[in-house]
A and B are shown apart, each in its own frame.
Chain A
Amino acid sequence: MPVVQLQDVRKVYDTKVAVDRMSFAIEPGTIFGLLGPNGSGKTSSIRMTIGITVPDSGTVRLFDQPFTRTALHRVGYLPEERGLYKKMKVIDQLIFLGELHGLDAATATRRAHTWCERMEITEAIPKKTEELSKGMQQKIQFISTLLHDPDLVIMDEPFSGLDPVNGKLLEETLIDLRRQGKAILFSTHRMDQAERLCDSITLISRGHVVLAGSMREIKQDYPRNRVHLAFDGPSSFLHHPSVESFESHPGHTDIKLRDVPGTLSPDAQPLLAAAVHSGARISRFEIVEPTLEEIFIEKVGNTGLERVEESKVYA
């Protein structure tokens, strides 16, 4: 039973198609990554998932029911543009946000204290938000998202702007939530993070899905045609016919093998044999699977990552 299910969702603003034929589903106990360059429709999709905006066509289902606002009490949402009431005390703020998600004041207070202890920011509880450091505010923001123990956690670019310590903390928290059986949706344009955390991903570009599936399936579909190599001695073997291109770095060389028609991954053994035969001393010879980033670039194009940030907010 998927926690979230989008089916053929489409949203158009004036003449610009923000999202088109968007479908994905998230199972409980999994982390789902919504990946894509800036302006590709990630935020638009997320906003439609939680009813901030309504799709022009297509359906959104939450907890296996057609979308209703009451379901939102089971959702924790961390928007890309984060913010808190600056002049409000941390504890009042957390209670207020907890109450908006259906908690009573007593429960909200108790949980706020528990979370602050867990995040090691108990000293911040009586303070005003504006008095806190940026890192502390980020922690408060996580707490406010998770205070009502949501079954679905949605985070839009949660890692952007985080210091490494809080980034690590958030990662651990997400993994812990997955263990508790929560469904987690997060969007990012940082592929290394997605690769580490996600069970499944959907890659979108210009409002369209370009790649979707579980991380394992996606990787298996891509050829293992890269070799990381470190050696001493002659380098003539790099011109072996099975090598399509290579890049020399201090200490190691990256090789891309030529695709062989009819097979998914080319055989690297002839190259290794040739290297040994040429007299080079091999200290490392590793066949690596493509990184998500490489897949992403292949699918979206190199420009995708660096595309100028368009007006990324649509109503």
Chain B
Amino acid sequence: MNLKKYLTLTRAGAMETLQYRASAVVIVLGNLLYLTIVYFLWKAIYASSPSEVVNGMTFYDTLIYLVLAAALAASIEMYTVWMIGRDIQSGKIVLDLLKPMEYRSFYFWSMAGSMVMNFLMTFIPTFIAVEIMTHGAIHIGMNIVWFLIALVFAVLINYSIDFIVSTICLFTESIWGINIMKQVIIMLLSGATIPLAFFPDKLRAVVDHLPFQSIYNAPLSLLLDSTGDVRKAVTTLATQLMWCVVMTVISKLFWNVSVKQITVNGG
């Protein structure tokens, strides 16, 4: 595999992201507002609760988890469905299909640049801020390594799901509705809006057997785990790897079958 051509795409994407600084300010403001709401909401929830520890999580555990989840979401959300959907409607996708590169990889590597940029500019500062404010509540050791591996799997699973949903757009030509459904399902069932520890047992059992929890819950629980339990890390990563393979195969097959059948507005 010639990696250089892919990295060129990635670099172009990274530079494109750096162009939009003014909008970044508004996005940061939006995220800060979200965190304010989350802080007060959970503070009120814990203040009304008779015990300080609920489902094994204290107020600060929950807060750290949710803050990092929001930062992670801001880093790995790539609006893939939205972008590919638009290219389908306008017909521009035809030009990309003609490129001497598999479309799925082409798109991934173009997006990887802004993903790396967002990770460096959103997740890392958030992580440092949390670490300073909590006086080092997050243990630094092997868990960082597990987290980084889990993050790569999470990104790949997330991309495969996005790609499957985008392929559905080839048939429906409806983007908004499909995209919003995907977003809602992932944010709720991955534990990004409410930590999975709070889910009722039956719902938890279902969610544990779905791929979504591998996107947010898996990397974050590995990062926040201070016990250094190697067995837990290996099981989590193995589950992620399994979903990664399954989702990649499904998304590739689905795309290859679909792309032969569709007709798009001649771009």
The answer to whether A and B come from one shared complex is no
Report A's interface with B, CB cutoff 8 A: none
Using a CB–CB distance below 8 Å, which chain B residues touch chain A? none
